[in-house]
């Protein structure tokens, strides 16, 4: 990690520590938009760290994006930060302007399909979109829609243009439903793009995996701290080997998660094909999330099972995020099919990124 990345990491940590309080999380789960937190993120250049300054970003790179996402996941911050970055990436890839403010995107599920057809000099948008993150709270959505089978365009869909039926995930983050039935977008809100629905899904998976790595680091911190504070039988429970062994497993899972997610980002940042690394990261981090949440709750005992204690802000996010943009079995199957197609003698080249050599 370079000195500049360390600075960014420290700045992001400080910002989240200042703004993300228990009260803020509670209000957000009750539908209050955390405006001050969001303004602070935009001012610090954390909303679009990897977009060039000409596109309204902070002019950093993908490693900055990963750093910001780790800090976001660690803080259990109730804002659509990954979604804003993902929408910015889509809009910029299509050459469309990236608006200020929180953004989201559609579709986010494999089953949902958005289409665009020419109508009266504009574009008619159609498709029922489910589980759209923060759709009611954002400035608008970046939609990735098919104009013909296999051909995609990005559409900017202003918040004014749709109704969002509210829903939530396990962590209380908005996951809304939108029925795009008869919306016509102006010509300048749509641009063709050399991306597919698979590309978007994969990028979303990487962002969730990275935020989960942050959440796992937080779960480890909380659990180690609690084990040092809580005394039973006359000593801190962290002095018992049975507890220490569980914490060591938890530390291993947190380490695995962060290296898997960052490793995939590093490959992407080098401009290489990160498809396999992203699939492996989402599958492995998702598995780590389940193991880690289980150990963290066990060590915390009953207090960690209360709403009063802060552990659940992290564990409910892990339980939600691991199934968004493809759960473990989705990505495991993808890897398994790819390995089988390539054949036994290409397994090692697949793992070492040397399939062509």
Partner 1 sequence: MFQGLTFDPVELPPAAEALRREVREFLRGALAELPPEQRAESWTGFNPEFSRKIGAQGWIGMVWPKRYGGQERSSLERYVVLEECLAAGAPVSAHWVADRQSGPLLLRYGTEAQRTAILPRIARGECYFCIGMSEPDSGSDLASIRTKAVATDGGFIVNGTKVWTSHAHHCDYMILFCRTGEPGADRHGGVSQLLIDLQQPGIKVRPIINLAGDHHFNEVVFQDHFVPEGNVIGALGDGWRQLMNELAYERSGPERFLSSFVLVTELVRKIGPHPSEREAIVLGRLIAHLNTLRGLSLSVAGMLQAGRMPDVEAAVVKDVGTLCEQEVPEIARSLVPCEPDPASPDPFVVSLARVMSHAPSFSLRGGTREILRNLIARGLGLR
- Residues in contact with partner 1 by CB under 8 A are 1, 217, 220-221, 224, 227-228, 238-239, 241, 244-245, 247-249, 251-252, 254-256, 258-260, 262-263, 266, 270, 276-277, 279-281, 283-284, 287, 328-329, 331-337, 339-341, 343-345, 347-348, 350-352, 354, 357
Query: 33 or 240, CB closer to partner 1?
Result: 240
At which residue do the structure tokens 């989240």 appear?
16
- Reduced to 3 states (helix: H, G, I; strand: E, B; else coil), residue 150 is coil
Give min distance, CB of 150 to partner 1, in A.
24
Give min distance, CB of 246 to partner 1, in A.
9
CA 10/CA 264 separation, integer angstroms: 22
Query: 270 or 307, CB closer to partner 1?
Result: 270
Residue among 353, 273, 254, 314 at smallest CA distance from 74: 314
Give min distance, CB of 13 to partner 1, in A.
12
Query: 183 or 215, CB closer to partner 1?
Result: 215
**Residue pair 190/116 in contact by the 8 Å Cβ criterion:** yes
Torsional sign, CA 68, 114, 110, 293? positive
Query: 86 or 283, CB closer to partner 1?
Result: 283
Query: 90 or 318, CB closer to partner 1?
Result: 318
Give min distance, CB of 243 to partner 1, in A.
8
26: how many CB neighbours lie within 10 A of its CB? Answer: 14
Give min distance, CB of 268 to partner 1, in A.
12
- Reduced to 3 states (helix: H, G, I; strand: E, B; else coil), residue 50 is coil
Query: 136 or 286, CB closer to partner 1?
Result: 286
**Residue pair 12/46 in contact by the 8 Å Cβ criterion:** yes
**Residue pair 94/332 in contact by the 8 Å Cβ criterion:** no
- Name, in order, each residue with C-beta under 8 angstroms of 48's C-beta and a sequence gap of 6 or more: 55, 56, 57, 58, 84, 85, 88, 98
Q: Which two tokens stand for residue 48?
A: 């679009």
Give min distance, CB of 126 to partner 1, in A.
31
């Amino acid at each position: 990690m370079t000195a500049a990345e360390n600075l960014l990491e420290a700045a992001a940590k400080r910002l989240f520590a200042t703004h993300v309080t228990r009260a803020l999380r509670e209000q957000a789960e009750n539908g209050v938009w955390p405006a001050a937190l969001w303004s602070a993120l935009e001012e610090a250049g954390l909303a679009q760290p990897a977009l060039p300054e000409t596109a309204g970003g902070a002019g950093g790179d993908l490693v900055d994006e990963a750093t910001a996402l780790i800090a976001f996941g660690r803080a259990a911050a109730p804002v659509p930060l990954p979604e804003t970055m993902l929408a910015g990436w889509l809009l910029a890839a299509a050459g469309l302007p990236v608006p200020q403010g929180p953004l989201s995107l559609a579709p986010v599920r494999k089953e949902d399909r958005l289409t665009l057809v020419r109508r009266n000099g504009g574009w008619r948008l159609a498709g029922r979109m489910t589980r759209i993150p923060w759709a009611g709270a954002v400035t608008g959505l970046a939609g990735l829609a098919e104009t013909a089978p296999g051909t995609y365009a990005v559409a900017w869909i202003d918040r004014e243009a749709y109704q969002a039926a509210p829903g939530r995930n396990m962590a209380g983050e908005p996951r809304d439903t939108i029925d795009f039935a008869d919306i016509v977008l102006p010509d300048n809100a749509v641009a063709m793009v050399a991306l597919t629905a698979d590309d978007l899904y994969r990028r979303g998976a990487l962002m969730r995996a990275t935020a989960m790595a942050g959440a796992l680091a937080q779960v480890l911190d909380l659990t180690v701290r609690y084990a040092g504070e809580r005394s039973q039988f006359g000593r801190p429970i962290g002095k018992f080997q049975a507890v220490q062994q569980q914490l060591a497993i938890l530390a291993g899972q947190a380490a695995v998660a962060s290296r898997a997610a960052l490793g995939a980002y590093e490959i992407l940042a080098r401009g290489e094909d990160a498809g396999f690394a992203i699939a492996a990261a989402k599958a492995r981090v998702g598995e780590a999330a389940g193991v880690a949440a289980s150990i963290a709750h066990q060590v915390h005992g009953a207090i960690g099972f209360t709403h009063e204690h802060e552990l659940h802000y992290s564990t409910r996010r892990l339980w939600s995020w691991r199934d968004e943009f493809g759960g473990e079995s989705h990505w495991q199957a993808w890897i398994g099919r790819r390995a089988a197609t390539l054949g036994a003698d290409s397994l090692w080249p697949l793992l070492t990124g040397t399939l062509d050599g």
